[in-house]
Amino acid sequence: MPVKDADGNINYIIFTRLDATDMKNSLRQTTKTIIIAVMLALLLAAIMGFVFSQTLTRPILELTKGAKNLAEGSLNQKIKVRSDDEIGQLTASFNNMAAKLEKNIADMSKEKNKLEIILHNMTDGVLSFDKEGELIHVNSASMDMLEVNELHLTFSQFIKKFDINSGVYLDMGPEISQKVNFPVGNRFINASFSPYSSETEKIAGVVVVLQDITEQKKLDDMRKEFVANVSHELRTPLTTVKSYTETLLEGALEDTEIAKEFLGIVNSEADRMAFLVRDLLQLSRFDSKQVQLDITEIPLNAFLEETVRQNKIHAETKEQNLYYVPAKKDVILYGDRDRISQVINNIVTNAIKYSLPKAEIRIFTGEDAYYYKIMVKDTGMGIQREDLPRIFERFYRVDKARSRAMGGTGLGLAIAKEIMESHKGRLTAESEYGKGTTMTMWFPKEQQEPWEGEIL
């Protein structure tokens, strides 16, 4: 540094010298300390950050994961509550919500299962369509009734497939329900269409309930046919009686010969009506289970010999050979003697009626492990295969004119069958058309002891 005098001339120069090593060292030391301090601070900050994040973000992440699982349907979500701050409270609320949701869904699926079980086990078919006509539910009874293995139909396809065309629409408005009958294979189904509504929508779709009414329809048809048959059977003799009486009143009475003949006809027609009414009453008693059987011992050999004796005369007038082949071992049956006699007489009378002169009618007995059997075999006209199962039906006759001409009511075998069934037995027929018929009365062996013959 120059030192100047008053005039500004440099008088001398001050020269100082300092050793900077110490300073440099101390600066380096300070820098080092600062770096270490910063490093330590950073490390501390990182550690603290980590610890902090562990306590704050981990529960949030857990909550997020839990919510995601919940949304995906895994309802059993319970998250550990680690603190009692806001996050802790949120976690507790989440756990509470998940538990409630799980319970509600469990209740709902229990209800749904209950409904499913009821619908599945119902004998009625149930189908439901939404308001777009999509099938939303179908139970197994419906499939059985509609004779399908699976059903993927819209409402209109359903209507079309089963040919239901009587005013059934998806939007039936306020109409309560509409019933329709339609055939499926050889069954008859009754479908009842009812619109249903939801809380938000007026009409939400249609429920279809299917019922199998085949039996009901069959019974209904049978009842109608029965009434028609009875009326028809009564009308013929009534018309005859009426016309003969009128002819008598108009003057035929004067001629004793003609009058006698006409009265004879009137008498036999009246008999025919009386027989018909007697048979009908008997059937009606069986139908209403009002039959009291009078069970006694029936020694078979004597009983069947008696039957032959009673019918011999009718067979002889047709030169037919009616006979009984006595059983080696005489069996004693238990039954209502009069009624069993009615059955065998009906069978033998039929054998005589429906066999030509010179035919052979053989009565014989037999047994198997469970039944004693009485058989009547004729060499008559026989019954065609398609008629055979129907001869036990009421009023069924293979040849109506012939049966009527022979005084049959068409109810004999129907009554005979009822009588055999009331004895816990059976009545069956085998026949070869043109060759002959064998009728078999079956008596269960276990029933062959004194028993109370009341049908309750």
| Contact set with ligand ADP (CB under 6 A) | 346, 350-351, 354, 378, 380-381, 383, 391, 396-399, 403, 408-414, 437
DSSP state of 387: T
* Residue sitting closest to ligand ADP (CB): 408
Coil vs helix vs strand at 32? helix
DSSP state of 454: B
Q: Closest CB to ligand ADP among 98 and 374?
A: 374
- As measured in angstroms, the least distance from the Cβ of 176 to ligand ADP is 47
Close Cβ partners of 45 (under 8 Å, ≥ 6 residues apart): none
Q: Closest CB to ligand ADP among 138 and 352?
A: 352
Cα 291 to Cα 423: distance, rounded to the nearest angstrom:
11
- As measured in angstroms, the least distance from the Cβ of 280 to ligand ADP is 13
Q: Closest CB to ligand ADP among 351 and 374?
A: 351
Q: Closest CB to ligand ADP among 191 and 376?
A: 376
The three-point CA angle 36-38-44 to 5° equals 100
- As measured in angstroms, the least distance from the Cβ of 380 to ligand ADP is 5
- Adjacent-strand bridge partners of 17: none
- As measured in angstroms, the least distance from the Cβ of 391 to ligand ADP is 4
* Alpha helices (runs of H) in 72-173, residue ranges in sequence order: 86-121, 140-146, 155-161
- As measured in angstroms, the least distance from the Cβ of 442 to ligand ADP is 17
Q: Closest CB to ligand ADP among 139 and 403?
A: 403
- As measured in angstroms, the least distance from the Cβ of 315 to ligand ADP is 13
Q: Closest CB to ligand ADP among 66 and 436?
A: 436
Phi, psi of 286 (to 5 degrees): -65, -40
Cα-based torsion angle of the residue sequence 381, 386, 391, 397 in order, rounded to the nearest 10 degrees:
-70
Cα 170 to Cα 203: distance, rounded to the nearest angstrom:
9
Q: Closest CB to ligand ADP among 337 and 377?
A: 377
- As measured in angstroms, the least distance from the Cβ of 151 to ligand ADP is 45
E-strand stretches of 36-177: 125-130, 135-138
The three-point CA angle 88-94-97 to 5° equals 145
